[in-house]
Structure 1
């Protein structure tokens, strides 16, 4: 029993490897030691590799964290490591740029940067210079970022080579996998049957949360059921009334599909982890993990999201604010799968997302907040949604504070009234990211920041 995938253009058969072995560890066991483990949780980017995924009329090179992929997740896929980029004695342009600009010292992080640079240079539809934000998932502790940025900005259009030729052809589609305790069904009925047969199984999509549990906490799962090949979880539908986003779509895929997304989505997305994480993390996974500090739920709660769920007795839909029951506990019943997220097609007149963390990018929130208001021409609040993460055991809406300002003028008095209610109704905890008092102060001050920014916009 084993599985196959394509590695640097060659077919590879894998057998006898524990199913929770990371793709990174497997690659290194094969002598491909360019990718390295720096953090084992997807924050440093030293483990970056490329996956060939659908793109345009052909395919695209998508950078991902190999430390957050279990080896069987590569089954049927096409993977490239840094060792594949050079041709004989000639470095790839992104590698040569790092040399020319002095972008490497100790070299530990360099292969990861090179892979992100390569993916950005070959990004479909890119016009103008490379976007240095494509490097936000790669950390360097010795060279400094200026020469690395200079290397990125020195790159032009990708050359006509074997990689641009590869992009003309379709990407492989993930198929069924049965490898040890790792199962990847290809239809929803198959998935539901597997969940019924293995009620103790852990569902996994991109693996960006589950792999951290495995890597850093030593968590072992008897059964992992991957939803990555389920087309039923990859729908994206737009109607006059609503937008339905498949729970199995990655955040990067959603961004490419949702061409008329509201400004608050564009504001939120770059603050969610890094491009490497967003290329694997799914919206459904971010909801279903039910983390009180997940970045997705505050945004979706403020936008009045609903979730569609399938299970042994059929489908049901419920508001997202009824989905979170307690710390890491949801209303999903045994054998159920989160299918999609449904949003109203009408956007609020004023909406902003805020994230307070020790590092602006690629970090976990101390407090996250999203405010979505409808305010009429007289400055009266007709509808208000105030959603928070990091202030309780679950992501939540501050409903009492919302009600205090609906029907009233949106002014400083309304802000203070809502802040007083927040002080009384929110019950954050203290941990290494911030004290309870600090979190409460953040929740109050972010609301005031929202008001001040609106005043500035109105005066502009």
Structure 2
């Protein structure tokens, strides 16, 4: 096994004696690359964003922006990243840096390097120039959602938006654009030790499962968007961290006539782009899931594996009748997602098992919708999340599946409401009666995000909204 290290701004830097819990942000700052900042430590402000070279969907390599404050530095072993310092310098500004400067997109400058990295990822996105100008895509095809995970505390967003919309095509000979035509750095087995802790990246799923069988107490790490918060804000430490995000057996995506199977280690961004709308309910959910920065790291398996009652994937997948495929050293089993959760952050997954994939039956329901109620339109935690999947034939609801998040200790199916809809006409009277049933589903709590009464009211109104927007479905 080669010595652990990361290629940063074209230079190979050894990881050295790095504690397992050291984040990429902390490690980069220790290398003198202080453009990368910590603002929140939980992936909400984007001051820490950097570019990482990953296998692309449309090109061999793509530059993807991620939160360096969440990912352990050891998780980037053998990988290639670019920070704001690597994009340009005062004598040779990168086009993104130039536009931010001349259009007044920076005042105190604390958030600027993070904005620049997120903006650069969109600058190099294949197909950007072919984007359609609209409220969210400028005349140059720039998708403003690329900046949804970056917060500015003093400049205001108009000049930052102006800088994004002023970007022209990628110039000929641009080295980072040329880099996208070559293969991304391959994954390699990693073993980093420090004191009583160790970080390891197995080469295969078989190796990973054997390791987890022998060390069931190990912390499994994929995108680290959940564990990174625990490390930064709650002081979590792992005696053994096992990285599974690049296991090829967990990164497949197949679309067949009977089902869609999504590898557990695919990021939400990868799933969104590779599905390209073929599962409409997921296509509605993805843009409302956190920010682009988070979706670039967060995995579908991780979102289910944490067992959080407020994860946005679960309500949508419950409505889709998804099945979780659990792999262990002794074999694989499938569990309906509706039977997967057993309590707050608990599930039927046994020590030593991993979520290998999620399987979604096809074809999808004819009427689907994802409603997320939160304090902000984007980049926020759900107070209530509802996934709807209904089949309406000749004016009658022949099948209904409704998944709920944020209203109980686990994500749940709204079975009583499903029963109230199935076999009934798709009408205002049916919806009024079923909405009253939906209001009482789950066991909502009062907390800092919403009161129990508010959550109940939002459940009721969610079904009314579905009918108001789709009353003519048949």
Distance in 2 between residues matched to 1:48 and 1:398, nearest whole Å: 39
Partner of 1:41: 42
Question: What pairs up with 1:29-428 in 2 under 5 angstroms?
Answer: 29-55=30-56, 56-86=58-88, 89-126=91-128, 127-128=130-131, 129=140, 130-160=142-172, 161-180=174-193, 181-377=198-394, 379-428=395-444
Q: Unaligned 5+ residue runs, structure 2?
A: 132-139
Q: Is contact 1:40-1:212 (8 Å) kept?
A: yes
* Structure 1 SS opposite 2:69: helix
Displacement of 1:262 in angstroms is 2.9
Partner of 1:451: 467
Matched residues in 1 for 2:75 and 2:431: separation? 48
Classify the secondary structure of the residue corresponding to 1:34: coil
Whether the aligned pair in 1 keeps the contact of 2:20 and 2:241 (CA below 8 Å) is no
Partner of 2:135: none
CA drift of 1:426 comes to: 2.2
**Per the alignment, in what secondary structure is the counterpart of residue 43 of structure 1?**
coil
Could you tell me how far 1:254 is from its partner in structure 2? 1.0
| Number of aligned residues | 457
1:2 deviates by: 5.3
Q: 1:146-166 CA distances to partner (integer Å, 9 max, x unpaired)?
A: 110000000011112211221
On the 8 A contact 2:392/2:473 being kept in 1, the answer is no
Deviation at 1:347? 1.0
CA distance in 2, matches of 1:231, 1:400: 40
Q: CA, structure 1 residues 422+65, in 2 after alignment: closer, same or farther (shift >3 Å)? A: same
2:28 is the alignment partner of 1:8: no
Contact 2:412 2:442 (C-alpha < 8 Å) held by counterparts: no
Shift of residue 177 of structure 1?
0.9
Helix, strand or coil at the partner of 1:341 = strand
Instruction: Give the distance between the partners of 1:339 and 1:209, measured in 2 at CA.
Output: 19
Offset, 1:312: 2.4
TM-score under structure 2 length normalisation = 0.94
**Helix, strand or coil at the partner of 2:460:** helix
What CA deviation, in whole Å up to 9, does each residue of 1:290-331 have, x standing for no partner?
100000000000011001111122110111101111000011
Q: CA deviation at 1:87?
A: 5.3
Cα offset for 1:220? 1.2
**Deviation string, structure 1 residues 412-446 (Cα, Å, up to 9, x no partner):** 22222223323444211111101111111111111
Distance 1:447 1:173, change over 3 A: same
In angstroms, what is the RMSD of aligned CA positions? 1.4
The CA distance in 2 between the partners of 1:2 and 1:196, in whole Å, is 27
